[in-house]
Amino acid sequence: MPPSCEKNLMRIMRQMRRPHTRLPLHNNFLLSAAFAPSSRRISSTARRSDATTGTSEAAQSKSSNPKPRKPLTKEQRDFLSSALRVNQTGELAATLIYTAQTPPLVNAHPHLRPLMAHMYDQEAGHLKTFNSLITKHRVRPTALYPLWSLMATGLGWSTALMGREAAMACTEAVETEIGEHYNNQIRSLLEMFEQWEAEGYEVGPEFRDLISTLRRIRDEELEHLDHAVEHDAKEARPYWLLTSIIRAGCRGAIWTSERV
């Protein structure tokens, strides 16, 4: 994350925290760490291997003769097109959820306006990124676009009507699934890279850029998750029912749009 963005985020988080400081900072952290253990663990391993790929890249640029690049296999191309398709669908859904949630939520809780605007802007940025990636790499967009639009809008709107806690529980549930989903993709890409490098091939900027894009977006999704928990997502009643329905829905949607 660029430092300016981080600063911005810290400022927003401080603003958010001031009006109602129910949980001290370390508590928040513990909570989110406890409730999203798998994604946290994966994300830290992903970051560790960042460091190793970074050094190997530096070593590579010193040796002047470029290594060859291996053509993608059919399976790899299938994986990549379904990955980009499902990501674009997910980000479309995210922008629609926040769009639908914002008016009722901000009416009732004006202090949430900057947070909602901040999260929406990030989702809009993610959507733009994947829109251009699927055009560039000639991936077919999801065929169920109208269905996802309708469901995302419905989910955002209904959770916002149920109140602030439910809306935040919705964000928490969605971002937990999405964060894990991005982590799985990052892991598969790292496996691809490892295999290429073991066989003496080069990874190349196209895939280096792709994986750093995925990591940046994954980190932003996990920030959304933290914001949601800070804003009492866990207070939603019945929390377990709401989040497990939404999470199951997300997994179903991911499964479907990887295929259709």
Partner 1 sequence: MAPSRALTRLTLLRRAPSSALRRYHSYDHPAPAGIFNASEQAILSAAYKHVPEHGFTQHALSLGARDAGYLDISTNVVPEGPFSLIRYHLVTQREALAPRREAIFSKDANAATTVPARVERLTWERLLGNRDVNHRWQEALAIMAQPSHVPASFHELALLADEIHFLAGDTSVDPSWYTKRGGLSVIYASSELFMTNDRSPGFGDTRAFLQRRLAEGGSLSNAVGGVTQWLGFTASAGVNVLRSKGVRI
Q: Is 221 annotated as a binding residue?
A: yes
The C-alpha torsion from 101 through 221 and 93 to 214, rounded to 10°, is 160
The piece of 54-62, 64-72, 222-230, 243-251 that touches partner 1 (CB under 8 A) is 64-72
Annotated binding residue 224: yes
What's the burial of 249, exposed, middle or buried (CB within 10 Å: 0-12/13-18/19+)?
middle
Q: Which stretch binds Fe ion (CB under 5 A): 44-52, 87-95, 134-142, 196-204?
A: 87-95
Tell which one of 85, 118, 126, 164 touches Fe ion (CB under 5 A).
126
Q: How far apart are CA 20 and CA 5, in angstroms?
A: 24
143 makes contact with partner 1 (CB under 8 A):
yes
Task: For the segment 158-177, give every residue that binds Fe ion (CB under 5 A).
Answer: none
CA distances from 155 to 67, 109, 136, 252 (A): 49, 19, 31, 14
Classify 78 as helix, strand or coil: helix
Q: 């091939």: which residue's tokens? A: 201
Question: Does residue 199 touch partner 1 according to CB under 8 A?
Answer: no
DSSP string, 186-209: HHHHHHHHHHHHHTT----HHHHH
* 180 labeled binding residue: no
191 binds partner 1 (CB under 8 A): no
Q: Is 220 annotated as a binding residue?
A: no
Residue given tokens 């997300």 in the structure block: 250
Q: Which residue is nearest to Fe ion (CB)?
A: 126
Minimum distance from residue 111 beta carbon to partner 1 (Å): 19
Residues binding partner 1 (CB under 8 A): 69-72, 74, 76-81, 84, 88, 104, 131-132, 134-135, 137-141, 143, 145-146, 161, 204-207
As annotated, the binding site for Fe cation includes: 91, 123, 126, 175, 221, 224
